[in-house]
Structure 1
């Protein structure tokens, strides 16, 4: 390794950047490292939180004819999902678009349609923003939300013995990729539904608010970089390890694609791109939390237990869990690519 003054961001990777560069500067700030940043407690009896994220090239725009609607939807989703992990109610998005001058008006309107449609789906809106010209497209948004004082969910707060729950329906994006690349096939109506779900992932805002309001979660994080990266980060934030069950209940359509592709449900569920939540809850509350969320139409299932040691394992006496992670400033950072190669990289050769 080169000297400290010669280190690059690629040498450190995303996790190293946070620990070596950002934590020494900002670690004393309340909420440092959480999905959403704490802004202030205001006189109206709420806490304001904010998050900002840029939109990568959507996988679905590599699998089929590119459509900026999908980029717009994803831009809104990735920001609203961070608010969900805080248990916040969204107040609005502020957007920033850098677009080439060759972008057509029709393409720009498709981008706006995607952002607006996702905002409507989650009962929020675009509150303002900025647009400028540039050589390449860059899409960024900042989402503002509010929490009831004392209820805000954070990545820290979990304890040994807490149960880990996955909130949401995993596997749709990469199941669609398997169908698009010919590794599985479905009747047209089912294939269309799978594709629709892959193109329009849901931020779990409803679940986040339910968990926060009921005091049902000790810690939470959205699944933006894959289940492995999410659980690993939650464990690091709490000085704990985790034992995963390695078992998942997939929706029927996703389970059928996994079966045809020779994949165990866990292999498909641990991928990224479906924007669920991982929640740590007291062992005695786990059943109630699952039942409560399902009662509100939100899928949830228990996937593991927080343990004293730092290890991540599959089963109590099982092997180390070395899962798929999408980590920026590393070899696994998402930059797009050729569809079949991406599927092989994320899901392996089966």
Structure 2
């Protein structure tokens, strides 16, 4: 029997994933709750609830779902960071275990190693298409092209070939209104090093395919829903540090935006919601799997996105913090599934 992810549970998950733990450094602090409040005001309901409702409405067994992740660029993040792959894989794992759907992970070619390693640690075998179609517990990885290649043509081909029921962006940088990608500290990156996720979002929108964006700063796909809030809240929201004449906020939106202090945590919260809504508690990965995912991601070269070190940490938070967050989510799901009649 399926259950609803009601707004009370969504509210609890939203609050949990928006606890900010950033360094006292050059990285903006004290902004996550403001970005969340803006997104929540625009959406009108808990963001996790809306994301899970969108997934449950769109995805059916056997459907392909495109999940796009992979943040950063060389030299500091040569194969990406640990925030993004784990959240993307958590959603892919939930789609597989909870809904019988087929996750396909997309990123720049340089980032696919850590993404594949994370997926395999979660029990998703990375397989070629013919085997991927034939069995459960499988995923695919595909590389997104970089400029000057025809990224628009690739985006349309991906949508046409896979016919996905949804496209999900997890901690995936997207361009501003000048076509420039930015770090959270205002530095610019051009399309020769960053995949054109705007082309993929547009192709999905034109095909009538629902989209979900997850991010923690305003420069990731999905935040085009609240551009004025990003411009107002972020230090480089209106004027970046690269001289392009725009701010760091992206113009790339999504049908649903989920804001979190760490994007992985939003992926976990959505997985928790899918576990509850599908009545499949195994859709939310275990603590042991979480530890294996983080270790595998780091061993494959991904680094902590705040300190740039290849370690079992995420945006300045420890491995123990990740399992603590997941433990609380498991408790939320378990208690929601086991109502207690109090006798006193």
> TM-score, normalized by length of structure 1?
0.30
Quick check: which has more Rg, 1 or 2?
1
Q: Could you say which structure has the higher strand fraction?
A: 1
Name which structure has the greater RCO, CA cutoff 8 Å, separation 6+. 2
